[in-house]
Structure formats: C-alpha cells, structure tokens
Amino acid sequence: MGRFDGRRPPETVSYEPASVKDLLVEMKDTAELLIDLSYSAVLHGSPSVAREVVELEHRMDVLQMRARMSLMLAARNPKEAETLAPVLGVVGAADKVSDAAGDIAKIVLEEIGLPDAMRGALTEGVETLVRGTVADDSAYHGRTLKDIDLESVTGVRVIAIRRDDDWILNPGPKTRLKRGDVTLLRGPETGVAEAYPTLAGEPFEADDPVEPAIDDLERAVDSIVLMKNLSELAVDLAYGSVLFDNEELAEEVSNLEIEVDALQSRFEAWTLRAAKEADDPVALRGLIHLGVATEEISDAALEITEGVLRDIGVHPVVEMAVRESDEIIARTRVAPGSDLVGTPIEAGVPATEIATSVLAIRRPDEGWLVGPDLDTTIRAGDVIIAKGTRTSAAEFAELAS
C-alpha cells in the first residue's frame, strides 16, 4: 500500500499465472519512471506529479507481491532456489527504489519544502519532465506517436501514459493518444514549451531558476544534484549487470555506491554549515530528506547486483528477458592509441558512425562525469558506460581497444 494516502485500503492480491520475466521488466520500467517523476515533483513543486508517484507506488506493491508468488512456485529444488534467490533480491530492490521515490514525493505532499535554490539547480541537472493531459480538442488526439513525431520535431519524448487506471510504460511508435490521457513528457525546455500547448491546450510555464545566496548551500545543492545523477546511473548499470550477467558493470555499481556515500557525508556537512546562515533553517529539512532518499536509491542499485557479484549465475527467466532486449549497457575502457582518443562527445553522443549513447565516463584523475548534457573529449584510460544495440556495442569496443 502507498504510504501517503491513508484513505486508500491495501489492494487484495491473489495469485494469477504470470510471466516472471514480464513482471521483472514492468518493475524495472516502473522503478525508473518513479525516479523521474519524484524528482520532477520536487523540481516543479507539483502535488499532481507527486500523486502520480503515489499511484505508481501502489502499482509497484502489487507487482512485487505477484513476482514473489510466481518465484516461490518456480523453485522446485535447492538448485533452482539458489539461482532464484538473487531474482528475489532484484524484486525487493525495485520496491526500495519505489519507497525512496515516495519519500522524495513526500517533500511536496507533506509540504516539507526545499530551498528555492534547490529547484534552480535541479533545473540545470535534469531534462524538463512535465505532466500534461491530452485536451479534448488537442490536435494529437487519435494520432500515433509515430504520426505526431514529437521527438524529431521538438526533441520531446512521451515516456509514459496513464489512461484511467492503466499505465503504458515506454510507449512505442504505434501507441495512439486519446483525449484524457495523462502523459509524461521529457525533453529540452524549449521543446516542451513548443509541444505542451498543442497537447494540453494551455501554455507551458517554466520555473524561474534561483541562485543560492549562501556558499555552503550552493555546495550542498551541487552535491545532491551529482548524487541524483550517480544514483540514476547506478540503477541503469545494476539492471544491465543482471540482465547481461556482467560482473564489470556490477563492480561499477559498487564504485558508484561508494561515491554516493562519500558525497552524502559532504552534503550533510555543508547543509549543516549553511543552516547557521539561513534565514529559515527549517527550510533545509527537505534538502536533508532528499539526500537520504537519493542515497537509498544507490543502495538499492547495489542490492540488485548481489547475485552477479556473488557469482551465483543468471536464472533462465532473466536470460529470457535478455533475448528480448534490443538495447544493452556496456562498459568499455579506452586503450592508449585507440581510435576513440580525441573523439568529442556532444549531448551524450560520440562523434563516430556508431549509434551509441554515452551515459557516463569514469576518468582516473577526475572521477565520474555524468549527466544528460555530457560534453567532453574521450581520453585514453576513460571507462565509458554506453547504451546501444549489441552490434554497436561490439563496434564501439573494437574502436576502444
């Protein structure tokens, strides 16, 4: 049951035959969407987006219970129980991500509050994500996403749709929008400002960023934005390590979790220092709340990788999910003399003929470089975390060697 709506009774869940693979995929998609929505709710101070987080929390509770039921029935002997144990860990970790996202939404729903400067920093640290309802007279009603072609025209993606009580996660080109659909749009602010009025029938109003007036608060805010980016990356890599039984990716998750822990320690110190200069120290309570929840997300990511790190092996149910996956996450180290050395990256895309997206770079002398606006030049020794097709990943690895 979601924790912020006491009026809603727990939903009764009974066993139904279900594909564990499909449940795992849905839990993964839901967990990632919850992270996006919770930070967006804080960024825009939006109770409506925060309530969507609560609804998805309820959904995750049901998915988790059904996955556990199916996994318990699937274990027929000690060997299967051994290989299924890490899958239970994946299920539990996804629920922890859901709980952490709910805690972030609580900042808005319980009016805990954040310094205005926090929203200004988050605006710079994330793409714009807004919630818009398809208006009755919207030109998008009845049309498919391929026909609308929002991403090509504006750079905006429809990442999820809520239709009555049902969610469409990762909608595809054949998905058709209908009046009354609650859509979640993500992209550059200029693109959202262009697409939103056509979809929702009203103008998009962006928040005005606010600069911190206290140096220590600025450091704390910068730390929490980096913690957010690293935690999101850790979740991506954790699922990648499980789906592709990749110990190197799992080790990178461990590295990220250590980095987030260190950042949280510094973040707490700077926040406490800022409190003595703040006009209203109580306003910093939401900032601390956000830091704790963000660190919990990185902890959950590490929990997802436990089976890989312990070398228990990947259960066939996860292998089935792998076979259906068109995209993979890969870890590549750039060797001296590699053709990639000196290659620029703009907005996460390297200047090569290979269609791959760089999520982050771990640089020996600088640590992690991560974010949607990654803009740098590849160096020898860089560890690159990238997403792409199997073919592109192999070609990228060849260039890096």
pLDDT for the residue numbered 90: 83
pLDDT at 18 over 60: yes
Residue 322 has pLDDT above 70, yes or no: no
Provide the mean pLDDT of the chain: 80
Contacts of 364 (CB under 8 A, 6+ apart): 381
Residue 201 has pLDDT above 80, yes or no: yes
**Where along the chain do its domains lie?**
20-115+212-319, 127-200, 326-400
7 pLDDT higher than 80: no
CA distances from 222 to 236, 261, 262 (A): 22, 15, 14
* Residue-level pLDDT at 365: 80
Q: Which two tokens stand for residue 17?
A: 């035959």
Q: Which H/E stretch holds residue 28? A: helix 20-44
- pLDDT at residue 4 is higher than 50: no
Beta pairing partners, 367: 363
Domains 127-200 and 326-400 share a fold: yes
The domain 326-400 having CATH identifier 3.30.70.1450: the answer here is yes
CATH topology of domain 127-200: Alpha-Beta Plaits (3.30.70)
Query: What does CATH list as the number for 20-115+212-319?
Result: 1.20.58.220
**Rounded mean pLDDT of 281-290?**
80
Q: Judge whether 60 and 94 are in contact, CB under 8 Å.
A: yes
Per DSSP bridges, beta strands 344-346 and 375-377 are antiparallel
How many Cβ atoms are within 10 Å of 47's Cβ, its own excluded? 13
Query: Is 133 in a helix, a strand, or coil?
Result: strand
pTM, entire model = 0.72
Tokens 């025209």 identify what position? 153
Higher pLDDT, 319 or 54: 54
Per DSSP, 180 falls in state: T
pLDDT tier for residue 302 given thresholds of 50, 70 and 90: very high
- Per-residue pLDDT of 269-285, as tens digits, reads 888 887 777 767 776 78
pLDDT range class, residue 5, cuts 50, 70, 90: very low
Least confident range from 143-157, 321-335, 347-361: namely 321-335
How far is 136 from 153, CA to CA, in rounded Å? 22
Say if residue 372's pLDDT is above 60: no
Distance (Å) of CA 341 to CA 86, 95, 383, 400 = 38, 40, 12, 8
Average pLDDT over residues 194-209: 83
User: What is the rounded distance in angstroms from the CA atom of residue 68 to the CA atom of residue 63?
Assistant: 9
Q: Is 187 helix (H, G, I), strand (E, B) or coil?
A: strand
- 376-392 mean pLDDT: 83
What is the predicted pLDDT for the residue at 115? 65
Q: What is the mean pLDDT of residues 383-393?
A: 78
Six-digit token pair at 212?
């911190």
Which of 76-90, 130-144, 339-353 tops mean pLDDT? 130-144
Question: Residue 56 is encoded by which pair of tokens?
Answer: 């998805």
Q: Give the number of other Cβ atoms within 10 Å of residue 350's Cβ.
A: 22
Give the pLDDT mean for 188-217. Answer: 76
Residue 291 confidence (pLDDT) above 70: yes
| Predicted local distance difference test score (pLDDT) of residue 127 | 63
How far apart, in whole angstroms, are the C-alpha atoms of residue 145 and residue 401? 39
* 91 vs 312: CA distance, rounded Å: 16
- For the segment 213-228, the average pLDDT, to the nearest whole number, is 74
| Residue 4: closest CA among 52, 46, 71 | 52
Residue 129 scores a pLDDT above 90: no
According to DSSP, the β-strands at 349-350 and 344-346 are antiparallel
Closest CA to 213 of 264, 294, 266, 283: 283
Per-residue pLDDT of 36-48, as tens digits, reads 889 888 877 788 8
Q: Which of 30-39, 116-125, 130-139, 208-217 has the highest mean pLDDT?
A: 130-139
What span, in angstroms and rounded, lies between the C-alpha atoms of 370 and 374? Answer: 6
